Amino acid sequence: MSKNNEEFVKEITPQSEDYSQWYLDVIKKTKLVDYAPVKGCMVIRPYGYAIWEKMKEGLDRRIKETGHENAYFPLFIPESLLQKEADHVEGFAPEVAWITKGGDEELSESLAVRPTSEAMFGEMYSDWIQSWRDLPVLINQWANVVRWEKSTKPFLRTSEFLWQEGHTAHRTEEDAEEEALQMLDVYKDFVENDMAIPVLNGLKSEKEKFAGALRTFCIEALMSDGRALQAGTSHNLGQHFAKVFDITFLDQDDERKYVWQTSWGVSTRLIGALIMVHGDNRGLKIPPKVAPHQLVMVPITPKKQREQVLEESDKLYQELKDKFRVKLDNREEHTPGWKFNEWEMKGVPIRLEIGPKDIEKDQVVLVRRDTDEKMFVKRDELIDKLEELIEDIQNKMLQTAKNFLEENTHTASSLDELGQILEQKRGMIKAYWCGNQACEEKVKDDTKATIRVIPFEAETGGSCIACGYHNDDNKEVFFARAY
């Protein structure tokens, strides 16, 4: 480790010393976000937003490929509309920001800044849907939402965040269930293959489900500190909203029926997962598919050969720039060593060095951020090599995260054991549960762990971790402490 590197690393608190401070150091120093002068709100800076743009691309493509269209619904929801679904309003009321004044005028009815848009979609769908021919309605929106949070942390929990929310309406219960499960698969595919984050998928418990849903499906990821993070949710809303918003259709059998609905969303929270799953003491590590720059070029420019190297590196940049997302860093005010460290910290998957000796030998130097491996590559093999490397880094990052998840998945057969594992190593902990909400709450009170997910193909039959009762229907679920 060079001296420069030492200086850099000092700026980031080591994970082992204070994980939370490490996280805050990383996001601030890599210029992903900054704190805004508004309680709990963040500014997503260009480097952070560029990651979000790549994520949007990958996810938007999948959302459209599965037949959905984008639209835009209003930011404000009248109080009376939000109050129509009782569970829903109870769940969200404590965290709603309210508009009470427009210009100089006091509003006769307060407007909620949308915490989520089921109510607004419900109201419009009741107008738009008349016949079975109108179904399914498959709409998504990319939007900002606001939830007035007491304690916040950039990306993970902020008063305003960006997300996509899909809202669909179907003819039958089966169609809605199929849609909710399909979108969970879309999320899993996107998060695993584009973000290199392995996830567990399955059902949420009644206690943890979305306010107003019949069933909530989710994907859950494990951060490198052993805490879980809910990475995406897909809800089968049943007919709850259809009934209160009166969304009906005339079916082929000439009967008027309520539609079946789903909603599903992922948010900028996923960037928090990206940081915590892949990052290390040197900073970010971004998978190539969502990296703003897949490689960064750092010319090595001794004074005498400066012109020659800059000319050559610019030539190379021109060759590469249409094939890869490449950044040429030819700033004069920083040394190559300083740049190496900065781009490592910013998590660029590949560094390309080119200096006088490399030009002589018709080669470049490549260094991987994920393994630190250093390679000398001939110029005429460079493009192939880069393509291969990008794929390999993407795969290896997922594999590394998968190994971590596996190594940090434990089994507990008693509440004591569960508590011990949580104290010593955290991670995902498999344990049997009788399905009783009192047992779920007892685990939480004793250990701060919640049921993260009930797997689709859960093992059955063991004794409940909390009450000890044995039942053939008891399911093996995943407990963890969560963000």
- On whether the CB atoms of residues 48 and 32 are closer than 8 A, the answer is yes
Among positions 78-117, residues that touch its own copies (CB under 8 A) are 78, 81, 93-105, 110-111, 113
Quick note: the x/- pattern for Zn ion over 437-476, rule CB under 5 A, is --x------------------------x-xx---------
Closest CB 113 distance from its own copies, rounded Å: 7
Task: Please give the Cα distance from 85 to 409 (Å, whole number).
Answer: 38
Closest separation between CB of residue 435 and its own copies, Å?
32
DSSP 29-71: HTTSEEE-SSTT-EEE-HHHHHHHHHHHHHHHHHHHHTT-EE-
- Residue numbers 26-45 binding its own copies by CB under 8 A: 34, 36-38, 41-45
Q: How many CB atoms lie within 10 A of CB 207?
A: 11
Find the binder of its own copies among 6, 57, 86, 128 (CB under 8 A).
128
Which residue, 254, 355, 265, is CA-closest to 312?
A: 355
Indicate whether 250 belongs to the interface with its own copies (CB under 8 A).
no
Q: Is 238 left (phi over 0), alpha (psi -120 to 50) or beta?
A: left
330-349: which residues touch its own copies (CB under 8 A)?
333
Q: Is 216 within 8 Å of 207 (Cβ atoms)?
A: no
77 contact choice in Zn ion, its own copies, none (CB below 5 to 8 Å, kind-dependent): its own copies
* Separation of alpha carbons 10 and 265, rounded Å: 38
Q: How many residues bind its own copies (CB under 8 A)?
A: 57
Q: Does 252 bind its own copies (CB under 8 A)?
A: no
- CB of 459 vs its own copies, minimal distance in Å: 41
464 binds, among Zn ion, its own copies, none (CB under 5 to 8 A by kind): Zn ion
User: 181 contacts which partner out of Zn ion, its own copies, none, CB within 5 to 8 A by kind?
Assistant: none
Quote the least distance from Cβ 479 to Zn ion, whole Å: 13
Q: Which of 343, 167, 197 is nearest to 270 (CA)?
A: 197
Footprint of Zn ion on 66-105 (CB under 5 A): none
User: Which range in 123-131, 221-229, 360-368, 472-480 contacts its own copies by CB under 8 A?
Assistant: 123-131
The β-bridge relationship of strands 428-433 and 200-203 is unpaired
Q: From the list its own copies, Zn ion, none, which binds 291 (C-beta under 5 to 8 Å, kind-based)?
A: none
Strands (E), 115-258: 137-146, 160-170, 200-203, 215-222, 228-238, 248-250, 256-258
Q: Is the peptide bond before 136 cis (omega within 30 degrees of 0)?
A: yes
User: CA–CA separation, 112 vs 115, rounded Å?
Assistant: 8
Q: Which C-beta is closer to Zn ion: that of 97 or that of 467?
A: 467
The span from the CA of 101 to the CA of 289, in Å, is: 44
Cβ distance to its own copies smaller for residue 139 or 422: 139
Taking residues 425 to 444 in sequence order and writing x for each that binds Zn ion by CB under 5 A, - otherwise, the string is: ---------x-x--x-----
Residue 482 backbone phi and psi in degrees, to 5:
-125, 160
Residues that bind its own copies (CB under 8 A): 34, 36-38, 41-46, 48-50, 52-53, 69-78, 81, 93-105, 110-111, 113, 120, 123-124, 127-128, 133, 139, 143-144, 146, 148, 159-160, 162, 333
